Amino acid sequence: MSILVGKKAPDFCAPAVVDGNIVNNFKLSQFFGKKYILLFFYPHDFTFVCPTEIVAFQKALPEFENRGVQVVGCSIDSAYSHFAWINTPREKGGISGVTYPLVGDVNKTISSAYGVLAGSLSADASGNLVADGQLIAYRGLFLIDRGGIVRHEVVNDFPLGRSTAEEIRMVDALQHFEQFGEVCPMDWHKGESAIKPTSGDVGRYLSSK
């Protein structure tokens, strides 16, 4: 798995469900220069941990939107599967009410580009493709700034759900740095004191951002 922090976020064009409707040519780059992006991957529709995360991001959506952040979800399921899941009531295991984009990555090119695709393909002695492990996405998450640069990433194994509160904290830290040039220490939260670099390589690095 390659590290994308500090690099341009891989763009993509794929089918997605946006506010309950299927869009055939959803592009991540439509937000470059306009919004921050929180792109998260999850393994599969109609599973167990995944809906808790997807619904949690929907519940926290006003907090992200107030910070100028576009939330985007993605799995290797099709947009039609996403559509069916969104149209399934929550009491029956669905995610009805989710409005932010859910991207379909059936070709697995997006998950691969972001380095979160579990499993791999190889050829056997007869030249047939064989899958080693499940070709689904780990729980990867990427915070992308308005310039399209990845500034934060985290990847969890399948059983481990994420925290919307932590991702809001990371957005606050990035925006605080961009506004004030101060770096944010361990467990920093919005409104707390941060650190102003004064000298050395770290200061020169930060001043160049």
Residue-wise pLDDT for 149-205, tens only, equals 999 999 999 999 999 999 999 999 999 999 999 999 999 999 999 998 875 545 444
Active site residue 13: no
Residue 99's pLDDT is 97
Cβ-contact 24, 14 below 8 angstroms: no
The pTM (predicted TM-score) of the whole model is: 0.91
State the catalytic residue, choosing from 13, 50, 74, 184: 50
Per residue in 10-61, pLDDT (tens digit) is: 999 999 999 999 999 999 999 999 999 999 999 999 998 999 999 999 999 9
**Every domain of the chain and the residues it spans:** 13-162, 163-209
Q: Is the pLDDT of residue 125 over 90?
A: no
Residues 15-18: contacts with CB under 8 Å, at least 24 apart: 15/78, 15/79, 15/103, 15/104, 16/79, 16/82, 16/101, 16/102, 16/103, 16/104, 17/79, 17/82, 17/83, 17/86, 17/101, 17/102, 17/104, 18/99, 18/100, 18/101
For the domain with range 13-162, which CATH number is right: 3.90.76.10, 3.30.60.50, 3.40.30.10, 3.20.20.140? 3.40.30.10
Is residue 208 very low, low, confident or very high in pLDDT (cuts 50, 70, 90)? very low
